[in-house]
Amino acid sequence: MNRSARFRALLKKPPFVCMGAHDAVTAMLAEQAGAPAIYISGFAASAILAGQPDVGVLTQTEMFEHIRRICRVTTVPVFADADTGYGGLLDVQRTIRLWEEAGASVLHLEDQAVPKKCGHFAGKQLVSKEEMQQKLRAMLDARTDPDFFVVARTDAIAVTGLADALDRLEAYAAAGADGLYADAPESVDQMHEIVRRLKPLGKPILFNMARSGKSPYLSLAQVHDIGFDYALCPIEPMFAMHKAVKEMMETFMREGCATNAVADRLTSFDDFNSFVGLDRAIARESKYAAK
């Protein structure tokens, strides 16, 4: 069973979470911690690769390489943000082919207009419902792995309201989307209405657990009780990294640039080399070395 088929198998036994990973190390940590799937956020990629906010600064090929690096070091299914598909109808077809080539098993395509923004930022603009349907049909036609999972995302809640968001998702389901995702619901009441309207469509419904955004802070069990099938924990690992490294560096500089001052914050050299597979690399090399 390939990774895409394994993702679809996860959807048959909800709930589960796709843990955010912003680089190869955090992807390996997520899998080691037991995450059943990994999520690659465009918000995180923009920050890690470019040091920029999530306002559409990354190119299609930059994101492709980022996804490929993470897929190389993991075995669980990878869900990768595809933003707006990076252009028009032919561009979205290239996007899904590249995401498949990189090793991803899932993507979400959003209905924002260019330049896109993080779903929890102000000032978003939308393409028409009809244009998004065209993009979805084009993307699905370009899919080569029948198990690759395409999620339709709408950002309409913050722009035109919940009713329009739900009308859009119903249209996207009719266009063939495999899963549905209304980004940034602002209350539990809105979440219940999303489930009430969308559940009869028979498409898995996604919730974004991002703690820094506009949505309620709920556990996976609470989200599932409302009726969502699975969730993203997209950027919390990056925020944890930022806080930990910031505090370590500030302490190091304040305490006279002494590593003794931060020793209790550091993974040991041996433990880290074990984590990244030094022993395995040496064993592989010795197999071919002259004797």
Report the catalytic residues: 39, 54, 81, 83, 108, 110, 118, 153, 186, 208
Residue with tokens 């990973």: 21
Sequence-distant (≥ 6) Cβ neighbours of residue 31 within 8 angstroms = 38, 74, 75, 76
Under a CB-based contact definition with an 8 Å cutoff, are residues 71 and 102 in contact?
A: yes
Sequence-distant (≥ 6) Cβ neighbours of residue 212 within 8 angstroms = 120, 235, 239
Pairing of strands 16-20, 37-40: parallel
Q: How far apart are CA 190 and CA 200, in angstroms?
A: 17
Residue with tokens 């040496």: 282
Sequence-distant (≥ 6) Cβ neighbours of residue 27 within 8 angstroms = 21, 38, 70, 73, 74, 78
Length of the chain: 291
